[in-house]
Amino acid sequence: MERRSLLRSAAAGAAMGTVAGPALAQSQPTVSWRMTTSWPKSLDTLYGGADLIGRRVSEATGGKFTIKVFAAGEIVGGLQVLDSVQNGTVECGHTAPYYYFGKEPTFAFGCAIPFGLNTRQQYAWLMHGGGVELMHDFYKDYNVTSIPAGNTGCQMGGWFRKEIKSAEDLKGLKMRIGGTAGLVMSRLGVVPQQIAAGDIYPALEKGTIDAAEWVGPYDDEKLGFYKVAKHYYYPGWWEAGPGLDLLIGLQHWEALPKEYKSILQMACAEAYAWMVAKYDSLNPQALKRLIANGVQLAPFSDELMAAFYKVSKDVYDEIAAKNPKFKKIYDPWNRFREDQVQWFSIAEGRYDSFAAAAMRIAQRSQKR
How much is the pLDDT for 24? 59
Backbone angles phi, psi at 301, to 5 degrees: -65, 160
| Length of the chain (residues) | 368
Q: Are 62 and 24 in contact (CB under 8 A)?
A: yes
How much is the pLDDT for 18? 47
Which of left, alpha, beta for 73 (phi over 0: left; psi -120 to 50: alpha)? left
Q: In what order do the strands lie in the sheet with 31-37?
A: 65-70, 31-37, 92-95, 243-249, 144-151
Q: How far apart are CA 241 and CA 276, in angstroms?
A: 10
Q: Are 211 and 193 in contact (CB under 8 A)?
A: no
How much is the pLDDT for 25? 58
Q: How far apart are CA 18 and CA 36, in angstroms?
A: 28
Query: Which residues are 32's β-sheet partners?
Result: 66
All residues at 6 or more sequence positions from 44 whose CB lies less than 8 Å from its CB, including other chains: none
Q: Are 138 and 329 in contact (CB under 8 A)?
A: yes
| Fold entry, domain 3-152+240-280 | D-Maltodextrin-Binding Protein; domain 2 (3.40.190)
Q: What's the whole-model pTM score?
A: 0.91
Nearest one of 61, 55, 65 to 19, comparing CA atoms? 61
Within 13 Å, how many C-alpha atoms sit on residue 119's CB side? 15
How much is the pLDDT for 145? 98
pLDDT in tens, 181-199: 999 999 999 999 989 998 9
**Pairing mode, strands 174-176 and 144-151:** unpaired
Q: How far apart are CA 81 and CA 149, in angstroms?
A: 15
Q: How far apart are CA 108 and CA 115, in angstroms?
A: 12
For each of the chain's 368 residues, which pLDDT tens digit applies?
444 454 444 444 444 444 444 555 568 999 999 999 999 999 999 999 999 999 999 999 999 999 999 999 999 999 999 999 999 999 999 999 999 999 999 999 999 999 999 999 999 999 999 999 999 999 999 999 999 999 999 999 999 999 999 999 999 999 999 889 999 999 999 999 989 998 999 999 999 999 999 999 999 999 999 999 999 999 999 999 999 999 999 999 999 999 999 999 999 999 999 999 999 999 999 999 999 999 999 999 999 999 999 999 999 999 999 999 999 999 999 999 999 999 999 999 999 999 999 999 998 888 77
**Pairing mode, strands 174-176 and 191-193:** parallel
Query: Which residues are 31's β-sheet partners?
Result: 65
